[in-house]
Amino acid sequence: MNAHLTGLIAAPFTPMHADGSINSALIPSYYAFLKQNGVTGAFICGSTGEGVSLTMPEKKEVAEAWAQSTKNDPDFKVMMFLGGTCITDCIDLAKHAREIGLYAVSFTSPFYFKPANIEMLAQCCISIAEQVPNMPFYYYHIPVLTGVGFSMFELVKALDGRLPNFAGIKYTHEDFMDFQSCLNYKNGKYDMLWGRDENMLSALAVGAKGAVGSTFNYAAPLYYEIIDAFNSNEMEKASQLQQKSIDMIRLLGKYGGISVGKSYMKLVDMDCGAFRLPIKNMTVEQFEEFKYDVEALGFEAFRSVTAGVIG
């Protein structure tokens, strides 16, 4: 349960048809595309995957498509995001993920009725994870969306020794002191997966080895260049490459937020459709302006490639 994942784990978009229904038929090609670009796993139905906007049957459909596509590839780890509001639904999804052979499950804090303290959050984690004792369980820390900003160092301490399948944390926040404390807890016992693509170089500097991110879907080569430059102690080059990542991510803010990721996917020939309400999508006119801005970034030099992917 204490395996430490390395490299880039993509947070895939959930493919949609034009009418907003799930396009699970695209997932085999999606997996092949990620694999071709060196991605080592997928964190499915998370924020990027619109998990909170999917029905229970839809989440299971997506999970089954990923399980079927990756069943002969034990090196590609698929982690299912369970949600965070309804504990019973999370348990149901966790059991389903185990039955279809996914690698791990992940859970974030309840965000409508919020836990009062770390102990209540720990009890939520335990109540779900103990139902799938043979699967690694990751907590997903993303306080910008959940509004729950407890110290993850305190959560690690609260779960240590009480939850044998607690594997670590997907850490999508900017508190490097907290992250590093978790990373170094008991000589690095737990797997700490970095979740802020725009700060990956900083996370590498404090010891991160694995990362989960949405921009790895369409710009994986850029991040492997950052990792290689860091490992070679070419810090000026690594900083310049990280700035390319930041400039790319700034376009998300310019054109409307998380939905812009699916526009990037269109530019790498992996059309995942649009986002569901309440997320705003680009207009046709905005997409044309967006393409111009992306070209000005030099995107073609570091984008993920699609050559040879079979649909």
Active-site residues: which are they? 140, 170
CB atoms within 10 A of CB 139: 26
Give the number of other Cβ atoms within 10 Å of residue 20's Cβ: 13
Q: How far apart are CA 295 and CA 43, in angstroms?
A: 28
Gyration radius of the chain's alpha carbons: 18
Is 208 within 8 Å of 180 (Cβ atoms)? no
Determine the Cα–Cα distance for residues 190 and 126; give it in Å rounded to an integer.
16
What the block records as the tokens of 15 is: 């493919």
CA 138, 144, 145 angle in degrees (round to 5)?
70
Q: What is the DSSP letter of 280?
A: P
For residue 158, list its beta bridge partners: none
CA distance linking residue 182 with residue 166, whole number of Å? 13
Tokens encoding 19:
């009418």
- Which DSSP state fits 283? P
If 0-12 CB within 10 Å is exposed, 13-18 middle and 19+ buried, where does residue 159 land?
buried
**The dihedral sign for the CA sequence 287, 292, 295, 296:** negative
Question: What residues pair up with 16 in beta bridges, in sequence order?
Answer: 22
- Distance of alpha carbon 264 from the chain centroid: 16
